[in-house]
Amino acid sequence: MRISARADYAVRACAALASAQDDAPTKGPALAGAQDIPLGFLENILAELRHAGIVRTQRGANGGYLLNRPADRITVADVIRAVDGPLASVRGAPPEDIVYEGAAESLQQVWIAVRASLRSVVETVTLADLAAGRLPKRVVDLARDPEAWVTR
pLDDT of 137? 96
3-state secondary structure (DSSP) of residue 93: strand
Specify burial of residue 123 (Cβ count, 10 A radius: 0-12, 13-18, 19+).
Answer: middle
Instruction: Please tell me the predicted confidence (pLDDT) of residue 92.
Output: 85
Quick one: 151 exposed, middle or buried, by C-beta within 10 A (0-12, 13-18, 19+)? exposed
pLDDT single digits (tens) 34-55: 999 999 999 999 999 999 999 9
Backbone angles phi and psi of 64, in degrees to 5 = 155, -155
Calculate the alpha carbon distances from 84 to 49, 99, 150 in Å: 11, 24, 26
Which pLDDT score is estimated for 113? 94
The Cβ of residue 35 has, within 10 Å, a number of other Cβ atoms equal to 15
Give the Cα separation of 118 and 141 in Å (integer). Answer: 15
Residue-level pLDDT at 48: 97
Per-residue pLDDT tens for 85-144?
A: 988 888 888 889 999 999 999 999 999 999 999 999 999 999 999 999 999 999 999 999
Query: Exposure string (b/e) for 9-23, b if CB count within 10 Å is 16 or more?
Result: bbbbbbbbbbbbeee
Residue 23 pLDDT greater than 90, yes or no: no
pLDDT at position 66: 96
Close Cβ partners of 15 (under 8 Å, ≥ 6 residues apart): 127, 130, 131
pLDDT of residue 93: 86
